[in-house]
């Protein structure tokens, strides 16, 4: 077989500490031989929700990271950023300290990621480059429920109501009443194509709002516009949710939540999100988690 070149890749399960959980990710730690067109072809071939390609920095970062779904490039995504940082840290030949800060040049700008080791192993936490931008839902309550194959009474009352939000990639955040309603959600693709496909936030993130008992927020994510029928862990959506929740009331300056996603897919994912109030009045959003290395190999080009 003729081979024009060999490019190494690794796969990880991200936002989990157990194999076969979380969100699978492919990473090419040295993508210098590849063109953007080849990156897109590889992402389609691998056919995971995202594939990350690491390149030398162009400005002040430590690395440039380009993220592709099977159908398009993304300016930012949580689990590729977290997984890439954890992989690069593990591949480093010398570790002189327990922590390592990366600055990834992504489509949204510089994304800072801190990797630390604790009793549970390595943990990575990113700071979203963009503050949360919140917009009204493009759909009325009844139509929004119908897109998710739910009844209007399955959507939670009160604040926060359905809205679009983004910390780099826009999502339509839809609070539902309980875990049972979340489990019944099924994307109606015909309605989605007619009502949401061309909107600012076409990706649906139904979730059960946090209570006061400290239990994790439960969530799901549907993104046919990205070629993803359902995603087991979506750091970008969780960042947007954290920004939304932090702005609901005058709570403490620092707040944190845990989001459990992927249960319905058999790939439970644990995503940690926290927010901090800045002196200028803005809110910083941090998303963190762990990952498990699953495989390595070579692409023959």
Residue pLDDT, tens place only, 238-251:
999 999 999 886 66
92 catalytic residue (yes or no)? no
**Other beta carbons less than 10 A from residue 73's beta carbon:** 15
pTM of the model: 0.92
255-261 long-range contacts (CB < 8 A, ≥24 apart) are 257/210, 257/216, 257/217, 258/216, 258/217, 259/207, 259/216, 259/217, 259/218, 259/219, 260/216, 260/217, 260/218, 260/219, 261/15, 261/218, 261/219, 261/220, 261/221, 261/231, 261/232, 261/233, 261/234
Residue position matching structure tokens 């950023």: 81
Q: What structural domains and CATH numbers belong to the chain?
A: 6-130+289-300 (3.10.310.10), 133-280 (3.10.310.10)
Quote the CA–CA distance of 71 and 43 in Å, as a whole number: 8
Q: What are phi and psi of 290, to 5 degrees?
A: -110, 175
Per-residue pLDDT of the chain (301 residues; tens, 9 = 90+): 345 689 999 999 999 999 999 999 999 999 999 999 999 999 999 999 999 999 999 999 999 999 999 999 999 999 999 999 999 999 998 766 789 999 999 999 999 999 998 888 899 999 998 889 999 999 999 999 999 999 999 999 988 899 999 999 999 999 999 999 999 999 999 999 999 999 999 999 999 999 877 789 999 999 999 989 999 999 999 999 999 999 886 666 678 999 999 999 999 999 999 999 888 878 899 999 999 999 999 999 8
What stretch of H or E contains 191? helix 189-195
Pairing of strands 109-118, 254-261: unpaired
Task: Check whether the bond before 133 is cis (ω within 30° of 0).
Answer: no
Catalytic residue among 50, 105, 106, 230: 50
Rg, Å, the chain Cα set: 19
- Using alpha carbons, list the distances in angstroms from residue 164 to 133, 204, 248: 8, 9, 14
List CB contacts of 76: < 8 A, sequence separation 6 or more: 67, 106, 107, 108, 111, 128, 129, 130, 167, 168, 169, 236
Q: What is the DSSP string of 110-151?
A: EEEEEEEEETTEEEEEEE-SSPPEEEE-SS-HHHHHHHTT--
């Amino acid at each position: 077989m003729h081979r024009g070149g060999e490019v190494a890749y690794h796969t990880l399960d991200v936002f989990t500490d157990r194999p076969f959980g979380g969100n699978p990710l492919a990473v090419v730690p040295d993508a210098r031989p590849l063109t953007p067109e080849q990156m897109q072809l590889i992402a389609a071939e691998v056919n995971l929700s995202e594939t990350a390609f690491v390149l030398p920095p162009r400005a002040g970062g430590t690395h440039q990271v380009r993220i592709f779904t099977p159908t398009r490039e993304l300016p930012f995504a949580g689990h590729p950023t977290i997984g890439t940082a954890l992989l690069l840290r593990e591949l480093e030949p010398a570790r002189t300290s327990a922590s390592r800060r990366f600055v990834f040049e992504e489509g949204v700008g510089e994304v800072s990621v801190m990797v630390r080791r604790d009793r549970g192993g390595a943990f990575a936490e990113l700071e979203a480059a963009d503050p949360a931008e919140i917009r009204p839902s493009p759909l009325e309550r009844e139509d929004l429920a119908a897109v998710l194959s739910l009844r209007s009474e399955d959507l939670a009352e009160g604040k926060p109501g359905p809205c679009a939000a983004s910390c780099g990639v826009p999502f339509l955040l839809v609070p539902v009443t309980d875990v049972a309603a979340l489990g019944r959600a099924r994307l109606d693709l015909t309605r989605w194509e007619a009502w949401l496909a061309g909107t600012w936030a076409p990706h649906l993130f139904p979730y059960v709002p946090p209570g006061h008992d400290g239990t994790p927020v439960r969530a799901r994510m549907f993104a046919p516009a990205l070629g993803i029928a359902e995603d087991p862990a979506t750091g970008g959506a969780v960042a947007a949710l954290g920004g939304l929740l932090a702005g609901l009331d005058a709570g403490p300056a620092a707040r944190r939540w845990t989001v459990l996603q992927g249960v319905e897919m058999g790939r439970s994912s644990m995503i940690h999100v926290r927010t901090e109030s800045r002196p200028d009045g803005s809110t910083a959003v941090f998303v963190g988690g762990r990952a498990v290395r699953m495989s390595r190999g070579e692409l023959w080009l």
